[in-house]
Structure 1
């Protein structure tokens, strides 16, 4: 892989909750700027629980980094009025990208699900209210959404988001490249032609990864689970092994035509930079 190829490299953060976290994220973002990312995205808590912190983080990135910031916007539990206010605020601060998601219900949520039930309704609303101002990213699932009743239903929902106006998609993370390529092939068969960028999760902690995966439905292959457990008392060994595994995954994805990589950084730069270095993605290092 050479740096001359045009790839959509992006990095995802979560909004920090403390002053120490804010400083740490600032340092992480500065380190990752060497990748010359297309954008930095910032997550949005279940039911909009991190809305204010997401907004502050996005504004800081947009103003000081020199790179585009893309706030996640989830619609579950929200109203059209609240979503429109957010969109207007983002427009006013020069934000031109949105990651539009249905979102997950907060734990113990018993309230109203809001005026939007599905992400395609949110995408359609953004297009209706703001025209082409925003480049809209949506989610895709190589191993299928955990709530999908069938493969067909999952792909039908994805096509609805594209028809509503999505420009590009970012996938849930995965460790089986074949799942990604099957998704792309299925989309081609359904005349879905937007870029589908694979989401990449560096491996830093087995217990944390297993917990995330069990929650979101991402599969950790059995062989990988067993090998990671071998490093239970060896953090450095686990991370070195993880870098090797994820680098080989990325190499296969890029060789197979993936249009880029979206790194789920967990607000850490080290492992993403190591993987990017092995891939030859570091620009002007």
Structure 2
């Protein structure tokens, strides 16, 4: 959706917030930094910003990372994204490729910039000299598809000392097709408000989005203020100078000063949206938002979701309404994998005979999206089964934020069955995905809700885990015993497969089992989450490949690393991946049936 449309929609309601907000991120210098930033972007998007934007990486070996990141944020993370695009040293071919990539990913927002002049003082070799030229080109080629933002400088620009000329330039950018204004950072609210009066008097009617730079440390605050040549109020300098050597106090006082500036902006009537230059950090920005009471510390946005999973904003996936539950916590690999399934999204997860179906070599850096150093910080060096179990238990308790098979922290949805999950882990079964039984909760429920208003949501209890091969026959025998008590259909259905692809199941070849569904006024029953054979076998490949990659990170000659490799090799070679669904969700006995299997 276009930014101006989103902002109009957000503020054109009776209970509109006092302000909305958005975040800017810049392209990291390393591919590992990009992977870590994706996790931060995903996490910060749970604060409910209206959009994020990603700066243009102006050159070097990573020059295509801006478009890659925009595509990932739109398609994989489902985040409304604005792409920066500059003119300096940019050939028409590069600009065309960037615009096409943004268009193809579903991005509808561009911040059109001239860009900083070449560092060596030479003339730009780019096709366009000014941002107004770039705006005209975008409009000519794409019509009104893109919402185009333009930059503004309330306190002047280093290359133009005449403030009135800058306002004239801004008017030209509006007349060429600009749709909204994003300003340079500032700290003097009075100067900004006076500038707003001037541009409105000049006939500039575009929405004004002020650029807000939180204060993290005294040194970074002074460095950026000097670099941007902006006015810093005397009270900012006086209060921060006294505590400049204490970073914690600077951040706290900086939060207060910036927040009070934002309150003054909002009271002026010229703005109702704040754009935060995060510098790829989160704490300082969140502190300001909390000070302004624009978020709640433990905000949960599940009740705002149209499906139990965040939908991709890529237009090629706009019709997607169903996902296998196996990738509930692995949206990156799920989106990347299914992009190449020949019949997706119109077929049933593609043809298993397709050469694209089994490919799991994703993200160039493999399936574990952490460096070796980060992996050691998260999961240490487990040399015994008890230590391996402890990793899974710490994840369930929220003490570890991810597992090799889960990119995200444990969901509060799991709370009702956490103790039972911990119990089976202590018995040697490693749970990697689960959901409790739900029988008709309102769709507005803060934890489990999804879909339109005034509906009801349901889900069958689901459990997925790694099971020792020695225990698998007895486990499946118990399932058959329970099913024998019922005359119509299987109460418990399962799939069990090892790394060699040896499969056991009591489901039919083409069974598709909906494990989550919703009933809403005036619409058909929605069934967004399923369990079925073909996608489970594809997930199996990923699960066991992750174990191999995890094992490969311990590559020293030390005895300890050798013991870790031996333990993970056993997990790969001597365990089954098993999932179980309890289909009798309505009788209230799902917990006892499934967890009773492990007694």
What TM-score comes out, normalization by structure 2 length? 0.45
- Structure-1 residue corresponding to 2:258: 246
- Of 51, 76, 81 in structure 1, the residue corresponding to residue 63 of structure 2 is 51
Deviations 1:243-272 (A, max 9, x none): 000111111111212120000000011111
Aligned equivalents of 2:273, 2:152: Cα separation in 1: 14
Q: CA deviation at 1:274?
A: 1.2
Aligned equivalents of 1:256, 1:24: Cα separation in 2: 38
Aligned equivalents of 2:184, 2:62: Cα separation in 1: 20
What SS does the aligned partner of 1:33 have? Answer: helix
- Of 282, 286, 300 in structure 2, the residue corresponding to residue 269 of structure 1 is 282
- Structure-2 residue corresponding to 1:185: 197
Aligned equivalents of 1:259, 1:120: Cα separation in 2: 26
CA RMSD across the alignment: 2.1
**Structure 1 unaligned blocks of 5 or more:** none
Aligned equivalents of 1:212, 1:175: Cα separation in 2: 11
- Of 293, 308, 313 in structure 2, the residue corresponding to residue 280 of structure 1 is 293
Q: CA deviation at 1:216?
A: 2.3
Q: CA deviation at 1:67?
A: 2.1
Deviations 1:55-87 (A, max 9, x none): 122112112332211111011111233212211
Native 8 Å contact 1:138 1:168 kept in 2: yes
TM-aligned CA distance change 1:3 to 1:105, over 3 Å: farther
Native 8 Å contact 2:26 2:55 kept in 1: yes
Aligned equivalents of 1:222, 1:242: Cα separation in 2: 14
Aligned equivalents of 1:49, 1:168: Cα separation in 2: 32
Q: CA deviation at 1:109?
A: 5.2
What TM-score comes out, normalization by structure 1 length? 0.92
Aligned equivalents of 2:39, 2:54: Cα separation in 1: 15
- Structure-2 residue corresponding to 1:214: 226
Work out whether 1:158 is the aligned partner of 2:170. Answer: yes
Aligned equivalents of 1:169, 1:82: Cα separation in 2: 24
Q: After alignment, is 30-39 or 134-143 more displaced?
A: 30-39
TM-aligned CA distance change 1:48 to 1:90, over 3 Å: farther
TM-aligned CA distance change 1:125 to 1:262, over 3 Å: same
Native 8 Å contact 1:3 1:280 kept in 2: no
TM-aligned CA distance change 1:6 to 1:234, over 3 Å: closer
Deviations 1:100-128 (A, max 9, x none): 10000242253643221111111111111
Q: After alignment, is 92-101 or 57-66 more displaced?
A: 57-66
Deviating 4+ runs (over 4 angstroms): 46-50
Deviations 1:196-251 (A, max 9, x none): 11110000122222222222222323442343232222000000000000111111
- Return the structure number with greater relative CO, CA threshold 8 A, min gap 6: 1
Deviations 1:178-211 (A, max 9, x none): 1221121111111110101111000012222222
- Report matched runs for 1:114-193 at 5 Å: 114-193=126-205
- Structure-2 residue corresponding to 1:99: 111
What SS does the aligned partner of 2:64 have? Answer: helix
TM-aligned CA distance change 1:109 to 1:53, over 3 Å: farther
TM-aligned CA distance change 1:159 to 1:48, over 3 Å: farther
Q: CA deviation at 1:24?
A: 3.2
Aligned equivalents of 2:279, 2:210: Cα separation in 1: 16
Aligned equivalents of 2:105, 2:200: Cα separation in 1: 36
TM-aligned CA distance change 1:7 to 1:165, over 3 Å: farther
Native 8 Å contact 1:31 1:269 kept in 2: no
Q: After alignment, is 20-29 or 130-139 more displaced?
A: 20-29
| Greater fraction helix | 1
**Structure 2 unaligned blocks of 5 or more:** 1-13, 301-599
Native 8 Å contact 1:47 1:78 kept in 2: no
- Structure-1 residue corresponding to 2:86: 74
Aligned equivalents of 2:90, 2:121: Cα separation in 1: 13
Native 8 Å contact 2:57 2:65 kept in 1: no
Aligned equivalents of 2:36, 2:121: Cα separation in 1: 31
Q: After alignment, is 85-94 or 156-165 more displaced?
A: 85-94
Q: After alignment, is 243-252 or 64-73 more displaced?
A: 64-73
